[in-house]
Chains A and B, each alone.
Chain A
Amino acid sequence: MRETLVELKNVRKQFLASKKFMEEKKYVKAINGVSFEIYKGETLAIVGESGCGKSTTGRAINKLIDIDEGEVWFDHENITNYSSHMMKPVRSKMQMVFQDPYGSLNPRMKIRDIVSEPLLVHTNLSKKERYQKAKELLEIVGLNEGHLRRYAHEFSGGQRQRIGIARALTVNPKLIIADEPVSALDVSIQAQVINLFKELQREFHLTYLFISHDLSVVEHISDRIGVMYLGHLVEITAKEQLYKNPLHPYTQALLSAIPIADPAKKKKRIILKGDIPNPIDLPVGCPFNTRCMHVQDKCYKIVPQLQEAASGHKVACHLI
């Protein structure tokens, strides 16, 4: 067995839906009992539709939110109840890269300050040393010294994402949580950034949690893939396994729905009926029961648990 870097045990998180005008409080059930591990050196991808709890999961690991239930382990430490002060050293070991390269950089700071900010927080380096390090990192991600004094808005999306990556690398983290780092980018730039991710992983022995909703992107970068639906992890397995033999009906639909940029390969798509239910009132039983084409009575009663269907292939479905 490989060494585990991160482990989530039955994590739950709900948010207050709307507060101001409520008589009875309503909660968005963002993640409902999610468990998985990330092994050292691998790339675990989490896919799923918008609002299914991918980002919340990422945030839970970094403790940007306090989870309601469950445990989070990082590098053999149970960090579930760490205060933000205690998280400080932990955070130097895990960094985040965000979806929106426009929003994740402070528009009022120069690039060198943005990139060197983690050093300011975690080390005692002098300003000069910090700027020196920032310069080196920018070169690694393919930007040059001339960019150091500029502001974020002067860069293109791809460049900004590189800056975000550079910032994440400054403190030599073990884990990078990348929350949809390429979905805002054009395909041509997306390819560059994906390549950069792969290169860096090789060079710095990084572990990635790669969040995305694009299965074709995920296919390129990940070792294992977890599929989420309405705050539940419905399937998790090695990449090849998932594409070859998807077990969960949702995974199957998802895979079939990816438009393939090749008119020659017209294939049969599974068109699901209905919409994703509101995470405020989850369906009873299996969360997918409203759209599933194989739905059975049992699905309306019992929430299926994630079970090992084959070696390293876990799925949460009554049919399996």
Chain B
Amino acid sequence: MSIKLLEVKNLTTEFKTDKKSLTAVKNVSFYVNQGEVVGLVGESGSGKSVTSLSVLRLLPENGYISEGEVLLSQNNILNLDQKSIRNIRGSEIAMIFQDPMSSLNPVIKVGEQLMECTMLHLKHTKKEAKAHAIEMIKQVGISAPEDVFNRYPHQLSGGMSQRIMIAMALSCNPKVLIADEPTTALDVTIQAQVLDLITEMKEQSNIGVLLITHDLGVVAEMCDRVIVMYCGRIVESAEVSCLFENPLHPYTQGLIASVPKIGSGSDILPYIKGRVPDLSQMPIGCKFAPRCDGAIEKCFIEEPLLIQLDNQRQCRCHLVSERGERNA
């Protein structure tokens, strides 16, 4: 069962800007097993998307990976040449993006966009590709697939486009699916449909899913394991139930607490004060220290390490590690 499909080790990604080089992702390590949904959560700007784009080497022009490995079935794909990496994209790792409407080419029929992938990777002929595309459209739960095949993206609703994106991602039977906020642009009822579909697909083909979101509700419902990021670093990772039951990192705690809960009855919502620091203005020491109520002097001086607590659990906090050490 637990075959590591994708493993990221010590990934550090930087951006060249006019002033200096900014580190958007620092020393991130995680893995995705077969048949598993791993959630990646964090506030806006915490480096979730950069992490996923680094995996596929689709960073914007000014971004580069300065360190680390991305192992896909034990091969480091960071060492591949352009051609080989292109062979992997779409066929081994597929990706779904946040905004389905803008992620489809507006001037090409959706069917053709679907066909491209299989013609390239599975060497389908036009006819085969078309049949396959229609089959995929059907699979993602769209009735009248032939009709949809011939439509342009603007003729689809948001939910339909996202389903097309999923069909496209899955059409070459990838091993890993990276979904970067796949439902943020959608409504709750449609979101429910799409998440349902992803779960279904995962179960059917036993793929590994890296689900990026900032919605803790989605994480709670979908994921097996969760990784929490803050300022480009992993601050905590755990099995989903552990994390929600017993969040260790003050950031995780704050995050979970500030989600409004139906029926909680409380009048004032707890919240995390302050704001995510700008990449160019990173505090020394723990990046969360300025917003942390429990911060001690050490937190402002020295950056804590990510401590392995038990086999599924990691946390990056002086308070926790001290407590842990004391406990140990």
In whole angstroms, how far apart are the Cα atoms of A55 and B195 in the complex?
27
**Interface bracket on A:** 35 or more
Q: Mark the stretch among B25-33, B65-73, B237-245, B309-317 that contacts chain A.
A: B237-245
B280 contact set on A, CB distance < 8 A? none
B219 touches A198 (CB 8 A): no
A50 touches B187 (CB 8 A): yes
A264 contact set on B, CB distance < 8 A? 241, 244-245
Most chain A beta-carbon neighbours within 10 Å: one of B221, B254, B276: B221
Q: A216-B259, A216-B262, A275-B159 are in contact. Are A192 and B193 (CB under 8 A)?
A: no
B193 touches A187 (CB 8 A): no
Within 8 A of A (CB), among B152-190: 157-160, 187-190
Pick from B187, B192, B255: contact of A188, CB below 8 A: B255
Q: A50-B187, A213-B187 are in contact. Are A261 and B254 (CB under 8 A)?
A: no
A266 at the interface (CB under 8 A from B): yes
Which chain B residue lies CB-closest to A190? B258
A191 touches B269 (CB 8 A): yes
B157 contact set on A, CB distance < 8 A? 275-276, 278
Within 8 A of A (CB), among B172-217: 187-193, 195-196, 214-217
Distance to closest chain B CB from A240 (angstroms): 9
Distance to closest chain B CB from A223 (angstroms): 13
Which chain B residue lies CB-closest to A188? B272
Distance to closest chain A CB from B101 (angstroms): 11
B258 contact set on A, CB distance < 8 A? 187-188, 190-191
Q: A191-B269, A263-B221 are in contact. Are A257 and B191 (CB under 8 A)?
A: yes
Q: A198-B267, A266-B221 are in contact. Are A188 and B193 (CB under 8 A)?
A: no
Pick from B187, B240, B255, B269: contact of A220, CB below 8 A: B269
In whole angstroms, how far apart are the Cα atoms of A33 and B273 in the complex?
43
Pick from B190, B196, B220, B254: contact of A260, CB below 8 A: B220
A150 at the interface (CB under 8 A from B): no
Which chain B residue lies CB-closest to A255? B262
A263 touches B220 (CB 8 A): yes
Distance to closest chain B CB from A142 (angstroms): 10
B190 touches A49 (CB 8 A): yes
Which chain A residue lies CB-closest to B268? A195
A189 at the interface (CB under 8 A from B): yes
Distance to closest chain A CB from B108 (angstroms): 20
Most chain A beta-carbon neighbours within 10 Å: one of B188, B245, B276: B188
B240 touches A215 (CB 8 A): no
In whole angstroms, how far apart are the Cα atoms of A215 and B192 in the complex?
14
What secondary structure prevails in chain B residues at the interface with A? helix
A253 at the interface (CB under 8 A from B): yes
A195 touches B262 (CB 8 A): no
B261 at the interface (CB under 8 A from A): yes
In whole angstroms, how far apart are the Cα atoms of A222 and B262 in the complex?
12
A258 touches B245 (CB 8 A): no
What secondary structure prevails in chain A residues at the interface with B? helix
B271 touches A195 (CB 8 A): yes
B127 at the interface (CB under 8 A from A): no
In whole angstroms, how far apart are the Cα atoms of A186 and B251 in the complex?
13
In whole angstroms, how far apart are the Cα atoms of A240 and B22 in the complex?
48
Q: A189-B271, A195-B268, A219-B262 are in contact. Are A261 and B244 (CB under 8 A)?
A: yes
A254 at the interface (CB under 8 A from B): yes
Which chain B residue lies CB-closest to A240? B263
Q: A186-B43, A261-B219 are in contact. Are A194 and B275 (CB under 8 A)?
A: no
Render B101-131 as a binary contact track against A, CB cut-off 8 A, 1 for contact.
Answer: 0000000000000000000000000000000
Render A189-215 as a binary contact track against B, CB cut-off 8 A, 1 for contact.
Answer: 111101100100000000000000101
A260 contact set on B, CB distance < 8 A? 217, 220-221, 261-262
A144 at the interface (CB under 8 A from B): no
A17 at the interface (CB under 8 A from B): no
A258 touches B269 (CB 8 A): no
Which chain A residue lies CB-closest to B191? A257
Which chain B residue lies CB-closest to A47? B188
B160 contact set on A, CB distance < 8 A? 275
B218 at the interface (CB under 8 A from A): yes
Most chain A beta-carbon neighbours within 10 Å: one of B44, B191, B218, B262: B262
B256 at the interface (CB under 8 A from A): yes
Which chain B residue lies CB-closest to A194? B269
Which chain A residue lies CB-closest to B163? A275
In whole angstroms, how far apart are the Cα atoms of A309 and B44 in the complex?
43
Pick from B191, B260, B272, B275: contact of A217, CB below 8 A: B260
Within 8 A of A (CB), among B228-249: 240-241, 244-245
4 closest residue pairs by CB, A with B: A259-B217, A191-B271, A49-B187, A261-B216
A residues with a Cβ closer than 8 A to B are 49-50, 156-159, 186-192, 194-195, 198, 213, 215-217, 219-220, 243, 253-254, 256-264, 266, 269, 271-272, 275-276, 278
8 more A-B residue pairs beyond the given contacts A259-B218, A271-B193, with a C-beta to C-beta distance below 8 A? A188-B271, A194-B269, A220-B260, A254-B188, A258-B217, A259-B215, A261-B219, A263-B220
Subset of 13 A-B contacts with CB under 8 Å:
A157-B44, A187-B43, A187-B259, A188-B254, A188-B258, A192-B273, A216-B217, A220-B260, A259-B191, A259-B221, A263-B220, A271-B192, A271-B193
